[in-house]
Amino acid sequence: MFKRNPSLTEQVKSYLKQRIINAEFETGRIPSEATLATELSVSRNTIRDALSRLEMEGVIFRKQGAGTFINEANLLVKTRLEEIVPYENLIRDHGYTPSIRLLGVVQESAGYHSLRTELELNSDTPLLIIDKLFLADDQPVIFTRTYLPANLIKQPYTGDDFGPPIYEFLPKFCQQELAYYLSEIVPLIATPELADKLNLPAEITALLSLEELGHNQENQPIIKAVSYFRSDLLRLRLIRRQ
């Protein structure tokens, strides 16, 4: 039924996820691992790996001796902060229509000393600074500033190439893969500049910002990104486990 590549585990995971989304398991319970293994003609280990991934994503939960069950509650929280997801999805999950405005792309050759230290760059490496604004029903809700060392870029590009998320730009133009962000969550009081960009009300407003250092698979820092969220309009959620 399945071919290799993508891996059997990944295919089984997608297959089961789709069936869950289609509400094909009416009882909220998923067939036993042995049953699935027989039905799909793969070993039970492969089924278990697929189920483990779905459990990590919060789609299902398992109970020894009882069975595997669909996690109805958590299907409601689709975008969670511990996963890298396009901000458009975050906005869409709040019931708004997302749109993006590319505010500008500039190149800086000097300054930004602390940033260059974080990215382990020489003091003369040019930096691309990309400003983007995300809107929910035409109301600004997220402002992001991304710092990309210019020497990473191996292919010619245009400004439009920065419309999609940066982790789609990196493989195409830099032969780099974004493996993870190490992020710091900082609350702050909106500066006049930010209040203007995000169209904030006149009163003093608390904002949430995410200061992130993006790393590749070799664990080297490759990009820096800072995001500012209007948390009165967006809910930033997270699952914490032991």
Partner DNA sequence: CAGTGGTCTAGACCACGGG
Partner DNA sequence: CCGTGGTCTAGACCACTGG
Does 4 sit near DNA (CB under 7 A)? yes
Per the structure block, which two tokens stand in for 29? 């319970």
Report in angstroms how near the CB of residue 120 gets to DNA at its nearest: 18
Category of 219 on φ-ψ map: left (φ > 0), alpha (ψ -120 to 50) or beta: left
User: Distance between CA 95 and CA 75 in Å, rounded?
Assistant: 15
Per the structure block, which two tokens stand in for 173? 């133009």
Report in angstroms how near the CB of residue 153 gets to a second copy at its nearest: 21
Interface residues with a second copy (CB under 8 A) are: 61, 63, 69, 71, 73-74, 77, 81-84, 167, 178-189, 204, 206-208, 212, 215, 217-219, 231, 235-242
Does 174 sit near DNA (CB under 7 A)? no
User: Distance between CA 119 and CA 221 in Å, rounded?
Assistant: 5
Does 219 sit near DNA (CB under 7 A)? no
Cβ(177)–Cβ(197) below 8 Å: no
Residue closest to 183 by CA, chosen among 43, 68, 83: 83
User: Distance between CA 144 and CA 212 in Å, rounded?
Assistant: 11
User: Distance between CA 6 and CA 53 in Å, rounded?
Assistant: 15
Stretch binding DNA (CB under 7 A), from 4-12, 71-79, 125-133, 184-192: 4-12
Q: Which does 77 bind (CB under 5 to 8 A by kind): DNA, a second copy, none?
A: a second copy
Report in angstroms how near the CB of residue 68 gets to DNA at its nearest: 4
Does 66 sit near DNA (CB under 7 A)? yes
Q: Which is nearer to DNA, 53 or 116 (CB)?
A: 53
Report in angstroms how near the CB of residue 175 gets to DNA at its nearest: 11
User: Distance between CA 172 and CA 146 in Å, rounded?
Assistant: 17
List of residues contacting DNA (CB under 7 A):
4-5, 7-10, 30, 32-35, 41-46, 48-49, 51, 62-68
